[in-house]
Amino acid sequence: EMTFERHLAKGNFQTIIEESQVLLKQSSATDDMRLAMVAYLNAALAHFYLGDIENAFSNVLHYKQICEEHGNSRDKYYLYYINAFIYEYEANFEQARQALQQCMEIALEHDAYVDYCNAANFYSAILLMLGQYNDAYEQAELTRSIALNYCPDNLSIHYHYELTLAD
């Protein structure tokens, strides 16, 4: 059985949506709010990658409603992160920047350095889009420092901050 990450990597977005519907039925039958959050988040990402922003946003709103009542700060990290994608898509870079700042704060609270670096790399890209080149460079340098110390083997993280530094 394929995991969500493998489906995402292979571009099996419709499969993710279908599996999310199954999870939603299971969560409804068992009153499992954590399972419902996973389903809505996965569906939101799949719809986003399909370019179906309306359904992505609808799933984010469902996730947010459950997250506010049943979620923890890690769940809120994912809420802010997916919102940043939607804001970027809508070219609302200031809102995306603010959402990513929240992500980075939450990640640091949990010593989740991979999550921090992913959000920080995205944040640097948003700063570039806002024309804040010096801030983007400084953020990329900070991300490089943290990545070298805490996630030296994560090539994706290193690749992204290097792209920002090259810009």
**128 and 136 in contact (C-beta within 8 Å)?**
yes
Global pTM value: 0.84
Q: What is the pLDDT of residues 41-64, one digit of tens each?
A: 999 999 988 999 899 999 999 999
From the list 55, 53, 44, 54, the residue with the least C-alpha distance to 20 is: 44
Q: What is the pLDDT of residues 6-21, one digit of tens each?
A: 877 788 899 999 999 9
From the list 82, 94, 11, 80, the residue with the least C-alpha distance to 53 is: 82
Q: What is the pLDDT of residues 74-83, one digit of tens each?
A: 999 999 998 9
